[in-house]
Amino acid sequence: MQSLYLVVTASTLAPFTEVIGGGVQQTVPKTVQQGVILRLAVPVPLRRLFDYLPPEGLNPAELKPGQRLWVPFAGRKLVAVLVELVPESPQAQLKPAQELIDSKALFDSGARKLLNWIADYYQAPVGEVYAAALPAALRKGKPADHWAEQWLQLTTEGKGLPESALARAPKQQALLQQLLRAGQQSRTYLKTQGHTPAVIRALQERQLVEWVSGPTVPPPMPAAEATPPPQLNSEQQQVLAAVDCSCFSATLLEGTTGSGKTEVYLRLMERVLAEGHQALLLVPEIGLTPQTLRRIAARFPEHSIAALHSGLAEGERAQSWLAASEGQADIVIGTRSAIMTPLPRLGVVLVDEEHDASFKQQDGVRYSARDLAVVLARNSDVPVLLGSATPSLETLHNALNGRYQHLRMRQRAGDARPPQIHVVPTLREPLEEGFSPQVLRHIGETLARGEQVLVFINRRGFAPALNCDDCGWIADCPHCSSKLTMHRRQRQLRCHHCDYRRPLVDTCPQCHSRSISALGGGTERSEELLARRFADYPVIRVDRDTTTSKQALDRLLAPARDGDPCLLLGTQMLAKGHHLPRVTLVVIQDADGGLFSADFRAPERTGQLLEQVAGRAGRGSLSGRVLVQSRFPEHPLLQMLLEKGYGTFARQLLRDRAVAQLPPTHAMALVRAECEEPAWAEEFLHNARLFMQSLVPPSPQLQYLGPVPALLERKSGRYRFYVQVTAQNRAQLQPLLARVCAWAESNKNRRLRWAVDMDAQELS
Ligand code: ADP
Ligand code: ZN
Ligand code: ZN
């Protein structure tokens, strides 16, 4: 890997030399090569750019930062991105790049600025950052014009016409009007709208329209009947008045579930679309449902929407990405990685359910899309709105200390009323598959009234453990420090961490006893009971086993949307984003898990989840009730959550975190290592800590912990440890992490994996 043309650039050096003072022994060699030098982001795990000469025979004038090139690298051929052109290189004997892939730049300067920032802040290899920003097809080197499509646009003459023109040719007039409103339309879309080739030709002959080639935009969603926007209530009006779309501002919108946050997003979109800007909406992984897309499409039937999520086929994703990055798509809706899409006309950044854990990438480039949303908005001088009923402590902290504007919406929009919440003690109750008799009675009564019930269960599968009553054997995963979950329908035992599977056994492999029993509950087990108890009603189970795609979820929920009485049962997939107005009873089967976890973030997550699930109750005109089962109804955190609500609960947690010197009042990073040989990972981290301590000794301002085993100590056969570094602020942490990365890159043990996790979210 340490090949001849490896170059440490001044820009990657900068963070190394800053703060720690002295100590840095970097010799920057003098210039040896001059001319047009390409400084490239090459997808390899090294934190630097690489210098190359232009491809042979290429006119250097064709080169623009942001283009892709094929380059030779350590005997392989890789797709690299041109970050900058420089007149000289400190390196002798540069190789030429092989071939230029793009005629236009894929990443504009705004996008490159963000990606370079990511590499610096998260201590990530810059080549991997650029690779992560590309959709897979483009990452593999496919030409961007592969997906080109024909677009119909108005000529100068056409643009000069009033909407009332062509009154005697109504079909031509309709098309003209559409183009006057939308600017351009794709051939595919025009066809779906019933504009015939003859009509288009007629306008072409009058020289009012012309075809141009551009990226393919996914055809607009089949919009439900265009719904007229509701009259804004006063809270919504106040929020909208407080967000200025002409410059950067960061705002937390803390609004109860059902308070009409989505309506606020739609109005902000509307505002920037009218100015000719693009709107970016980030949603959690399980929040990007066809229902969400339909709702937005129905509001903006004339604007093209690009959806970016993991459910797309490779080609579709590349199309959406190009439509967004070339400015054809007006609205871009996506999950985490959409934040890295170049958006040339960006006007507003919206983050829905900003507290959601899926915004943090947990491997590779470990960025937080939520935090990047703020960086992107600042870079682009546009507003960013972070919306949630249950804001993350990070965002709440920024709002309370005045870094973000803090707006609240307390009323439910429309005529929905807040639900009533009750705790149902379960400690000495005769439970039936985890349900108390009182809860089962309420479920029955609700169904009998013709209403719907939602039951929330933490765990999928039938039971979280299988155990021998005679010898105490438990079915463990051979690769992870965890138990296997029993999936009865598939007759399998499965590991939920590494997906190891084995057939279900009915005798104990250790003592051959036949008394094997399933311990604990899961969605499958509850489904069996509820289907038996309430046989007259459909029971719909929603978890990762029943819902392999967004469409599947949509189909599964269709009967519930129709409004007939039914019982919905599922994991957190059910907690988000589904508007089910006939759900009047929500049951939370077990609230206790998160209250006693070793992860300091567990109470925050439990609070968010309970509040979100509870928010599913009574979204329509019927009022709702929430029953929370707990073995510890007196637990102070649970009490505070249920009596005072998430807002008070979260503010208390924030005070606790400050006392404990934890995020968000303190900055935290983990240096992680994993290896099949636990001693190697521990030793590596031990040395990493000694190295860091030699640079910055521990003090009240900067503290070290570890190496300690991760909460899931062994995963997929590898033992996992981390060293935790906390500091009063990020400025103390950043240079230290840069140094430890440089140190770790010289590690030669190929069986050991290491990573730096800035603002780590998971201790697992
Ligand atoms: P949130 O995103 O805060 O959970 P939504 O924006 O989804 O809330 O709104 C909840 C429901 O209230 C939706 O059915 C929405 O159409 C409706 N709604 C939103 N704003 C208004 C309003 N001003 N008047 C009437 N209904 C509204
Ligand atoms: Zn046994
Ligand atoms: Zn496993």
Per the prediction, the chain carries an average pLDDT of 85
368: which DSSP letter? B
Share of the chain above pLDDT 70, in %: 90
Task: Choose between 750 and 176: higher pLDDT.
Answer: 176
With b for 16 or more beta-carbon neighbours within 10 A and e for fewer, the 626-641 pattern comes to bbbbbebbebebbebb
| Integer Cα distance of 712 and 694 in angstroms | 30
Q: Could you give the CA distance from residue 334 to residue 310 in angstroms, rounded to a whole number?
A: 9
Query: Rg (Cα) of the chain, in Å, rounded?
Result: 28
Q: What is the mean pLDDT of residues 353-366?
A: 91
pLDDT of 447 reads 93
Is residue 6 over pLDDT 50? no
Q: State pTM to two decimals.
A: 0.83
* pLDDT (0 to 100) of residue 344: 95
Instruction: Return the higher-pLDDT residue of 298 and 101.
Output: 101
pLDDT above 90 as % of the chain: 43
Q: Using pLDDT thresholds of 50, 70 and 90, give the confidence band for residue 33.
A: low
Nearest ligand for residue 254 CA:
1
Q: Tokens for 204, please give them.
A: 């072409």
The reply to whether ligand 1 has any atom less than 6 angstroms from the CB of 236 is yes
Q: Is 413 in the pocket of ligand 1 (CB under 6 A)?
A: yes
Mean pLDDT of 164-171: 85
Question: Backbone phi, then psi, for 188, in 5-degree steps?
Answer: -60, -45
* Best CA proximity match to 89, nearest among 4, 15, 24, 18: 4
β-strand partners of 720: 674
Q: Evaluate if residue 29 carries a pLDDT over 80.
A: no
Token pair belonging to 564: 């007939």
CA distance linking residue 182 with residue 403, whole number of Å: 37
Answer whether residue 740 shows pLDDT above 80.
yes
Residue 216 — pLDDT band, cuts 50, 70, 90? Answer: low
The residue to mutate among 262, 281, 292, 388, having the most atoms of ligand 1 within 8 angstroms of its beta carbon, is 262
Any ligand 1 atom below 6 A from CB of 261? yes
- Tens-place pLDDT, residues 127-143: 999 999 999 999 999 98
All residues at 6 or more sequence positions from 501 whose CB lies less than 8 Å from its CB, including other chains: 492, 493, 494, 495
Q: Can you give the pLDDT at residue 467?
A: 81
Mean pLDDT for 504-528 is 83
Tens-digit pLDDT profile for residues 300-342: 888 889 999 887 888 889 989 998 998 889 999 999 999 999 9
Q: What is the mean pLDDT of residues 363-385?
A: 95
Q: How far is the CA of 502 from the centre of ligand 3 (A)?
A: 11
Please identify which residue in the block is written with the tokens 């963070």: 15
In ligand 1, the atom with minimum distance to the C-alpha of 263 is 6
Residue 27, pLDDT score: 47
410 CA → ligand 3 middle, Å: 43
- Would the pLDDT of 16 be above 50? no
**Tens digits of residue pLDDT in 492-501:** 888 888 788 9
**Residue 750 clears pLDDT 60, i.e. is over it:** yes
pLDDT-derived band at 421 (thresholds 50, 70, 90) equals confident
Q: How confident is the model at residue 9 (pLDDT cuts 50, 70, 90)?
A: very low
Cβ neighbors of 228 (< 8 A, separation 6 or more) are none
